[in-house]
Amino acid sequence: MYDLIIIGGGPAGLTAGIYAQRMKLKTVLLEKEGLGGQIALSDIIENYPGFPSISGMELMQKFEGHAKGLGLEIKLTTVEGISLDGNWRVVKTHEGELRAKAIIIATGAKPRKIGVPGEKEFLGKGVSYCATCDGPFFRNQKVVVVGGGDTAVKEAVFLAKLAKKVSIVHRRDQLRAEKILQEKVLNTPNIEVFWSHMLKEIKGTKTVEGVFLEDMKTNSRKYVEAEGVFVFVGINPTTDFADVEKDEKGFIETNERMETSVKGIYAAGDCRVTPLKQVSTAVGDGAIAAYAAESYIEELK
């Protein structure tokens, strides 16, 4: 029996764990894969206060060290569902059921697929969703980056340090990333941007050899040689196990206290509906969720 169960070990979950420990709540954090979340895969973070430049992995190690230093219990397991039993919230895992008075869902989101021919077939054979993980395999080669947001542009700049050439494929005629990131792209000589283009097909034999792009203005196609394709077109929330109100994309609806549609269940970070998905906002969410959960638990007493 716990006071609080936190599902997810990224920035939001670890922050909630830190606050819960300081509030002396009996807490366990459940994580399926490994602590840190998607941001741990990021090569460099330049907008987290106090750290002008730090790798995602290093920052998350600091979060983890802080939480463990306060005695936070962490279990590696997969959550299959959540149910209610009176004032108890029941979490079903691969190892059995856990009960708590409150739950914080902080499961984040995963990269979205584009669904073009060759994407699935060449996964791990040239197709990737993580430049930090796989970028070094494409040193001095040609790669394509699909997307125009912060992640796509940031990862393109990182890949440009390794690859011979980086081609950014973007559906619009201007990037959506932060202005400072856009400037980096436009000032990097081995980055080319295909404006108003869509990736239509990934070609190759045993590994990726090139891609077909479609010009959205002329509907003409062109072939671009590339050994690697990095896809950054958004994220899908990891919320299938939670029976709470969500938007049309599956992100959990909450109020300003991170309360979901089910009393005693909270959501924090990238898995919820939020206008900005950053480490700093996830941290704020986690703190608010823990504070609100503690108030709810006190009310039960």
User: Taking a C-beta distance cutoff of 8 angstroms, is the pair 57, 34 a contact?
Assistant: no
Q: How confident is the model at residue 133, as a pLDDT?
A: 81
| Contacts of 124 by beta carbon, 8 Å cutoff, 6+ apart | none
User: Which residue matches tokens 């996830």?
Assistant: 282
For residue 133, indicate whether it is catalytic: yes
For residue 3, indicate whether it is catalytic: no
Q: What are phi and psi of 299, to 5 degrees?
A: -65, -35
Can you read off the two tokens belonging to residue 133? 């993980």
Q: Which of 3, 85, 130, 240 is catalytic?
A: 130
pTM (predicted TM-score): 0.85
Q: Which of 133, 173, 240, 247 is catalytic?
A: 133
User: Taking a C-beta distance cutoff of 8 angstroms, is the pair 16, 289 a contact?
Assistant: yes
User: Would you call 178 helix, strand, or coil by DSSP?
Assistant: coil
**Spatial CA neighbour of 282 closest among 96, 30, 47:** 47
> What tens-digit pLDDT sequence spans the chain (301 residues)?
999 999 999 999 999 999 999 999 999 999 998 999 989 888 888 889 999 999 999 999 999 999 999 999 999 999 999 999 999 999 999 999 999 999 999 999 999 999 999 999 999 899 999 898 889 999 999 999 999 999 999 999 999 999 999 999 999 999 999 999 999 999 999 999 999 999 999 999 999 999 999 999 999 999 999 999 999 999 999 999 999 999 999 999 999 999 999 999 999 999 999 998 899 999 999 999 999 999 999 999 8
Q: How confident is the model at residue 44, as a pLDDT?
A: 83
Please, how many CA atoms are within 13 Å of residue 137, restricted to the half-sphere of its CB? Answer: 17
Q: Write the burial class of residue 193 (CB in 10 Å: 0-12 exposed, 13-18 middle, 19+ buried).
A: buried
Furthest C-alpha separation in the chain: 67
User: Which residue matches tokens 């009996």?
Assistant: 26
For the chain, list the domains and their CATH numbers: 2-110+235-300 (3.50.50.60), 113-231 (3.50.50.60)
Q: Which of 85, 134, 150, 270 is catalytic?
A: 134
User: Taking a C-beta distance cutoff of 8 angstroms, is the pair 138, 227 a contact?
Assistant: yes
For residue 271, indicate whether it is catalytic: no
User: Taking a C-beta distance cutoff of 8 angstroms, is the pair 8, 15 a contact?
Assistant: no
